[in-house]
A and B are shown apart, each in its own frame.
Chain A
Amino acid sequence: MFGITMAASGDEFVAPGPNSFDFDAVPLFNLGGLAVTKPMVQLLLGALIVFVFFYAAARRATLVPGRLQFAGESAYGMVRNSVGRDIIGSHDFLRFVPYLVTLFFFILVNNAFASIPGIQFPTFSRASMAYALAGLSWVIYNAVGIKKHGFLGYLKLQSVPSGVSPVMYPLLVPLEFFSNILVRPVTLALRLFANMFAGHLLLILFSTGGLFLIEYGGIGYVAGPLAWVLAIAISFLELLVQFLQAYVFTLLNAMYISGALADEH
């Protein structure tokens, strides 16, 4: 069951499934006993692309920007202003901008790998990688809140809704705590992971399925190309989803941070 390579070969159509995302069996190379898989390389490549782009854009920053600097400033400014400043507020946002920018473009490029020929795999369809970023987000927004309000003050801020009669507290406090502290990292990770996972699965299904149908002959000569047309359509949809998921992940981070910094609910 070596998913990717074997999906469309043989007489029986092997539907793509979770195994299509399992690279442990096909490591690219071994590094001191550690099997280095394709998603791991993609992580590094993604980070490299993001840094090289921004470094080249910012290296000789001038008042009147050149083309590259303008592109870099627009990208940086989009996250800085529409995510950072608008949500966290102009008082505190600046110290979070590097984090938000890194987050957005790191996820965006790694998502975009799903549509780049030769790579064609969304890095964050590996759940563990999404867990890591979601866990980091959880640590950061809670740390920011605790630093500002103190541990108990922060717990009160996140758990005790203001403007509600204390009679309702037994019902609302556990609920608020659950939704603000426990559920957030889970939804954050699963949203990103599941979108990338499902999108990639669909693409494999339509691509390998189309190939299988054409090889099968008969009605497959009509259905196969049709499946490929659908695959192309889904590719475009995926481009949108890739951007959207990176944006949503960053946006929610900013909202959680702003919520942790808020003085009142």
Chain B
Amino acid sequence: MQNLIFLAEGTEPTEGGHAPENPLGFVPVEAALSLVVFGLLFFLIWKFVAPRFEQTFAERTQAIEGGIAAAESKQAEADAKLAELEKQLADARHEAARIREEAREQGAAIIAEMREQAQAESQRIVEHGKTQIEAERQQAVTSLRAEVGALATGLAGRIVGESLEDEARQSRVVDRFLSELEAQNGTSAGSVN
């Protein structure tokens, strides 16, 4: 076939009847074939290869980024939960402190009340004791009076009942009795009221 030769100086035919070819010469068939084959290959790569690789790349990127996003949301969730728990713990501590304080106050109040009650009770008991003693004393005084009367009359009876032979002795006894009675009356009157 005849080549299109641009830069050749001469194209004398050689022995074989074939012109020596310029290596820089332009061969339309070869150029056209190159373009066609390249175009075909480009079409095939563009149609069947590139989209699949790009899709795979995109999916891979998405898988990695999705994983990272999921991990981040998990982390945030865990952080929130931790904060919540810490808040709850602080609340509980606060509550416990409050209750303790309240209990302490209540305890103090109860003790004060008890003390007051005990004091009142003891006072009441003392009062009661005093009045009882007073009453008993009164009773004792009245009964003593009665007994002293009886004794006096008894003694008087005895003295009177005896023979009055000894006048001197008789007057002595009576004198003594009366002075004793007087002395006793004087002391008892002084001690009682």
- Can you spell out 8 A-B residue pairs with CB atoms less than 8 angstroms apart? A22-B21, A47-B38, A58-B49, A58-B52, A128-B31, A132-B31, A132-B35, A133-B34
Residue A50 at the chain B interface, CB threshold 8 Å: yes
A101 contacts B45, CB within 8 Å?
yes
Q: A101-B50, A127-B24 are in contact. Are A54 and B31 (CB under 8 A)?
A: no
Residue A182 at the chain B interface, CB threshold 8 Å: no
Secondary structure of the B side of the interface? helix
A128 contacts B34, CB within 8 Å?
yes
A128 contacts B38, CB within 8 Å?
no
Instruction: Pick from B30, B46, B59 the residue with the most CB of A within 10 Å.
Output: B30
A98 contacts B50, CB within 8 Å?
yes
B41 contacts A39, CB within 8 Å?
no
> How many Cβ-Cβ contacts under 8 Å join chain A to chain B?
133
Q: Using a CB-CB cutoff of 8 Å, which residues 37-57 of chain B contact chain A? A: 37-38, 40-42, 44-46, 48-50, 52-57
**What is the CB-to-nearest-CB distance from B29 to chain A, in angstroms, rounded to a whole number?**
7
A25 contacts B18, CB within 8 Å?
yes
Q: Which residues of B contact A (CB under 8 A)?
A: 1, 3, 14-16, 18, 20-35, 37-38, 40-42, 44-46, 48-50, 52-57, 59-60, 63
Give Cα distance in the complex from A131 to B3, angstroms. Answer: 15
Give Cα distance in the complex from A2 to B35, angstroms. Answer: 28
**What is the CB-to-nearest-CB distance from B116 to chain A, in angstroms, rounded to a whole number?**
84
A39 contacts B21, CB within 8 Å?
no
**What is the CB-to-nearest-CB distance from B54 to chain A, in angstroms, rounded to a whole number?**
7
**Residue of A with least CB distance to B60:** A63
Residue A13 at the chain B interface, CB threshold 8 Å: no
Give Cα distance in the complex from A136 to B32, angstroms. Answer: 11
Q: Using a CB-CB cutoff of 8 Å, which residues 78-118 of chain A contact chain B? A: 80, 94, 97-99, 101-103, 106
> B34 contacts which of A1, A61, A101, A129 (Cβ < 8 Å)?
A129
**Residue of A with least CB distance to B48:** A55
Give Cα distance in the complex from A59 to B154, angstroms. Answer: 149
**What is the CB-to-nearest-CB distance from A119 to chain B, in angstroms, rounded to a whole number?**
16
B53 contacts A24, CB within 8 Å?
no
B41 contacts A24, CB within 8 Å?
no
> B37 contacts which of A22, A43, A61, A197 (Cβ < 8 Å)?
A43
Chain A residues within 8 Å of chain B by Cβ, number: 52
Q: Which residues of A contact B (CB under 8 A)?
A: 1-2, 18-19, 21-22, 24-25, 34-35, 39-40, 43-44, 46-47, 50-51, 54-55, 57-59, 61-63, 65, 72-73, 76-77, 80, 94, 97-99, 101-103, 106, 125-129, 131-133, 135-136, 193, 197
Q: A19-B21, A127-B25, A129-B31 are in contact. Are A58 and B48 (CB under 8 A)?
A: yes
**Residue of A with least CB distance to B21:** A22
Give Cα distance in the complex from A80 to B54, angstroms. Answer: 10
With a cutoff of 8 Å between Cβ atoms, the chain B residues found around residue A22 in the complex are 18, 20-21
**What is the CB-to-nearest-CB distance from A122 to chain B, in angstroms, rounded to a whole number?**
12
Give Cα distance in the complex from A72 to B52, angstroms. Answer: 11
With a cutoff of 8 Å between Cβ atoms, the chain B residues found around residue A34 in the complex are 1, 29
A73 contacts B30, CB within 8 Å?
no
**What is the CB-to-nearest-CB distance from B24 to chain A, in angstroms, rounded to a whole number?**
5
**What is the CB-to-nearest-CB distance from B74 to chain A, in angstroms, rounded to a whole number?**
22
**What is the CB-to-nearest-CB distance from A127 to chain B, in angstroms, rounded to a whole number?**
5
Q: A97-B50, A99-B42, A127-B23 are in contact. Are A43 and B34 (CB under 8 A)?
A: yes
With a cutoff of 8 Å between Cβ atoms, the chain A residues found around residue B16 in the complex are 1-2, 25
- Starting from the known contacts A106-B41, A127-B23, 11 additional A-B residue pairs (CB-CB under 8 Å) come to A18-B22, A21-B21, A21-B23, A55-B48, A61-B56, A72-B49, A98-B49, A99-B42, A101-B49, A102-B38, A102-B46
With a cutoff of 8 Å between Cβ atoms, the chain B residues found around residue A44 in the complex are 37
Give Cα distance in the complex from A136 to B35, angstroms. Answer: 8
